């Protein structure tokens, strides 16, 4: 819905661009969670038709296949599509109990967010972390307070 003219509701395919924001880890940790969410919100809102056209023009000059790993180390990547209602898909077995992204672009720090199975404003998160980091996260009581695992 960000393109001019917009893609039709029947469009089926991939139309993906990576967009980035940067902050110092100390700044991110020192601020409330709303700080990081605000950076992402501002970035997403600025990704309009003009920004998409500019990135497309840049890509046409030097095309390459995109890989999230190109963002470098110490990167957290978030991927999702609010237009794809993942829990409404039924291939004849009923609606899914859970949703996972598959094996593409799995690396330390990758996160996929889906509209939650419970509906409303719930969010399901799929996080890929190194084993040691995941153990620490699973033991973090403050983190787990806001999660249903």
Indicate yes or no: pTM above 0.75.
no
First to last CA, the chain: 33
pLDDT, tens digit only, all 149 positions of the chain: 677 788 787 877 767 777 888 899 899 999 998 998 899 899 989 999 999 899 889 989 999 887 766 766 777 777 776 667 888 888 899 988 988 887 766 888 888 888 888 888 888 888 889 999 999 999 999 888 877 76
Q: What is the pLDDT of residue 136?
A: 93
Q: What is the pLDDT of residue 140?
A: 92
The domain spans of the chain are 1-66, 68-89+97-149
Using the CB atoms, write b or e for 67-103: b if 16+ within 10 Å: ebeebeeeeebeebeeeeebbeeeeeeeeeeebebee
Q: Which residue from 114, 109, 80 is spatially nearest to 97, judged by alpha carbons?
A: 114
Output the 3-class SS for 8-49: CCCCCCCCCCCCCCCCCHHHHHHCCHHHHHHHHHHHHHHCCH
The pair of structure tokens assigned to 134 is 């995941």
Q: Is 87 helix (H, G, I), strand (E, B) or coil?
A: helix
CA distances from 42 to 21, 36, 70, 113, 115 (A): 9, 10, 22, 18, 20
């Amino acid at each position: 819905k960000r393109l001019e003219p917009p893609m039709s509701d029947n469009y089926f395919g991939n139309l993906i661009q990576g967009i980035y924001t940067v902050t110092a880890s100390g700044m991110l940790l020192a601020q409330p969670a709303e700080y990081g969410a605000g950076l992402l919100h501002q970035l997403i809102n600025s990704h309009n038709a003009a920004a998409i056209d500019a990135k497309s023009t840049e890509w046409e000059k030097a095309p390459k296949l995109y890989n999230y790993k190109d963002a470098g180390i110490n990167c957290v990547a978030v991927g999702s599509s609010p237009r794809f209602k993942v829990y409404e898909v039924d291939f004849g077995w009923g609606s899914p109990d859970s949703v996972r992204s598959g094996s593409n672009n799995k690396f330390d720090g990758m996160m996929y967010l889906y509209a939650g199975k419970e509906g409303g404003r719930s969010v399901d998160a799929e996080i890929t972390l190194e084993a040691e980091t995941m153990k620490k996260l699973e033991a973090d009581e403050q983190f787990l307070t806001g999660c249903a695992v």
